[in-house]
Copies of this chain bind each other. A is one copy, B any other.
Amino acid sequence: MPETTGLTCREEVRPGDREEVGRVVRATGFFSEEEAMIAVELVEERLAKGEASGYFFLFAEQEGRLLGYACFGPIPGSVHSWDLYWIAVDPAAQGKGLGRQLMAQAERLMARRGARRVYADTSSRPQYEPTRAFYLAQGYRQEALLADFYAVADGKVIFVKPLPA
């Protein structure tokens, strides 16, 4: 990740990531409190169970402060599909390509572990238009729309990106 000075990347999950992940996810303003708690729970699951949790992380930080992260894992029952559970960038660090870099590096880590298809879900609501545009720009395509999935008039959009073998 050469484009932002002093940026470091790590996969190891540390206890302090609980608070930092919660902070970044809430700061985006894109997620409900329930969703933020789920994001933190995934960190806790990983801390408790290691890779057996099924959750893998990629953190981007600068001077010890989390700027953004991705969380992903193999989909149980599938031989080659992985789920991109979370990708979030602190608003203070947005607009510098960090999301794109996190995504590209997460895809490399997934591919190395056998992923051939990456799925990412988001909401169909108008305020998630930038999220959907982000996925499309990273080579994902919309595979399905589950109407009213999250709530009435709040559907689930499923994106997929095939990875090279």
Contacts and interface: CB of A to CB of B under 8 A. Distances in A.
Interface in A131-165: 143-152, 158, 160
Contacts of A160: 146
A46 interface: no
B143 A38 contact: no
Interface in A33-89: 34-35, 38, 75-81
Contact of A149 (B38, B78, B149, B152): B78
Contacts of A150: 77-79, 81
A160 B35 CA distance: 23
Nearest to A79: B151
Interface string A78-115: 11110000000000000000000000000000000000
Contacts of A143: 144, 146-147
B77 A35 contact: yes
A119 to B, nearest CB: 8
A160 B148 CA distance: 11
The winner among A34, A35, A149 for most chain B CB atoms within 10 A is A149
A70 to B, nearest CB: 18
A123 B158 CA distance: 17
A160 B75 CA distance: 20
A45 to B, nearest CB: 12
Nearest to A38: B76
A14 B81 CA distance: 33
